[in-house]
Amino acid sequence: MSLPDGAGHGTVGILGVGSLAGAVVEGLCEGVDVPPRVVLSPRGADTATRLAATYPTVRVAADNQAVLDASDTVLVCLRERDAGVLSTLTWSEAHCVVSATAGLSAARLAAAVAPARQLARAVPMVAVAERAWTTPVRPAVPRAVALLERLGGAMAMGSDEEFDAVYTALGTVAPFVDYLRTVSAFLADHGVDRPAADRLLGRSFALLAPELAAADVDLGRLLRAHAPSGGGNDQLATLLREAGVPAATRAALDEVFRRQTHGVWE
């Protein structure tokens, strides 16, 4: 095992190098006076090679086991269907393992990485690249929290149920973008250039960012402020409610939560 550095979590290993792992590396290293040592798995070779070429403290290991052998804290960024590889590796009691894999329960994680005991699940987002995201984590293992603090902060969840609900709710980014694409297609059907429609909608919703990020944000109050009675926003929201969109959204959330908590990720 490598010696810990001043960050308190030593060398960071990352299994699975996609966009999230790239954001994590950028958040750990970009503009940092003393960045941690980072070892990447060769999976996602193009991204891993680019990151290693960009940051002097980052290198690509020969294989997944080499990542573990060089690391103190291991961040798992694998897809659920690839998580079976975890149980084929040799883990140490000294490892701290932080899983960002959707659908991987605490029990499955513990079984896969035994005898490692310092285990946490987390929900980092790509905003960690700018250290602009507070990452939900369960449980608040000190070394996991130390890592996440370097990426913008950590938010300890009080129970596994709370964590899994947050994980589920934060999966609504893609549905939101899909909703915007539907609106953009409507504009294009009425003669608006599609790229211009995308930009218009992007900027329109970006204007909400300060209100949504406010410490005292109240979504009910925000809805009322943007839906004066009888206006276009009010009419569209009413029609969507009558069409069952909120109910369908809740049903989808409940189903993803079931999959997240029962280990049936399909």
Q: 150 and 207 in one domain?
A: no
166 lies in some domain: no
Domain boundary among 114, 129, 157: 157
212 lies in some domain: yes
Domain range for residue 28?
A: 12-157
Q: Which CATH number characterizes residue 75's domain? A: 3.40.50.720
220 lies in some domain: yes
The pLDDT value recorded for residue 6 is 40
Q: 152 and 218 in one domain?
A: no
Q: Which CATH number characterizes residue 223's domain? A: 1.10.3730
162 lies in some domain: no
The pLDDT value recorded for residue 9 is 54
Q: 208 and 80 in one domain?
A: no
Q: 226 and 153 in one domain?
A: no
Q: 77 and 50 in one domain?
A: yes
Q: 223 and 136 in one domain?
A: no
Q: 60 and 26 in one domain?
A: yes
4 lies in some domain: no
Q: 122 and 176 in one domain?
A: no
167-210 per-position pLDDT tens digit: 999 999 999 999 999 999 999 999 999 999 999 999 999 999 99
Provide the residue-wise pLDDT of the chain in tens; the chain has 266 residues.
Answer: 333 344 445 899 999 989 999 999 999 999 999 999 999 999 888 999 999 999 999 999 999 999 999 999 999 999 988 999 999 999 999 999 999 999 899 999 999 999 999 999 999 999 999 999 999 999 999 999 999 999 999 999 999 999 999 999 999 999 999 999 999 999 999 999 999 999 999 999 999 999 999 989 999 999 999 999 999 999 999 999 999 999 999 999 999 999 988 877 66
50 lies in some domain: yes
Q: 128 and 25 in one domain?
A: yes
The pLDDT value recorded for residue 266 is 61
**How many domains does one find in the chain?**
2
Q: 126 and 26 in one domain?
A: yes
117 lies in some domain: yes
Q: 144 and 17 in one domain?
A: yes
Q: 127 and 53 in one domain?
A: yes
The pLDDT value recorded for residue 42 is 92
Domain boundary among 131, 157, 183: 157
236 lies in some domain: yes
pTM of the predicted protein model? 0.86
**Encoding tokens for residue 125?**
């987002």
